[in-house]
């Protein structure tokens, strides 16, 4: 079996993020053993809209909790609406109580 490419590995991790939790581009990169490649994780999230099965890309934010990827959603408010529907409060494009909602794949999955 062929080893999945980087984007597929990112998608596999993002699919594991539970509803009501968020993680960061950097946490995913670190988990995949590619610390410093958070921008590549961002590019993967940009490509996530065409992935099957679907990717809950709204659960990936930057390390400060900012919705930096919101421009890649169907409307300017869709990312925030999806997070709010899962009980995550967003104010001024920033996740509130970031640490409470943070899901670290290195801790949750192991690695």
Give the strand pairing for 60-61 and 23-24: parallel
pTM: 0.91
Answer yes or no: is pLDDT of 5 > 60: yes
Cα of 62 vs its chain's centroid, Å:
8
- Cβ neighbours of 66 (radius 10 Å): 16
* pLDDT for residue 47: 86
Domains plus CATH for the chain? Answer: 6-97 (1.10.10.10)
**For the segment 30-87, what is each residue's pLDDT rounded down to a tens digit?**
999 988 889 999 999 988 888 888 899 999 999 999 999 998 888 999 999 999 999 9
- How far is it, in rounded angstroms, from Cα 66 to Cα 32? 22
* pLDDT for residue 93: 96
* pLDDT for residue 51: 81
**Using CA atoms in the order 58, 59, 61, 67, what is the torsion angle rounded to 10 degrees?**
40
């Amino acid at each position: 079996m062929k080893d999945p490419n980087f984007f597929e590995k990112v998608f596999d991790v993002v699919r594991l993020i539970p509803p009501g939790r968020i993680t960061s581009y950097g946490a995913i990169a670190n988990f995949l053993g590619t610390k410093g490649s958070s921008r590549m994780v961002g590019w993967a999230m940009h490509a996530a809209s065409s992935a099957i099965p679907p990717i809950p890309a709204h659960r990936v934010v930057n390390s400060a909790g900012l919705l930096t990827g919101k421009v890649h959603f169907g409307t300017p408010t869709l990312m925030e609406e999806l997070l709010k529907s899962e009980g995550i409060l967003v104010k001024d494009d920033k996740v509130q109580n970031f640490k409470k909602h943070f899901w670290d794949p290195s801790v949750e999955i192991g690695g």
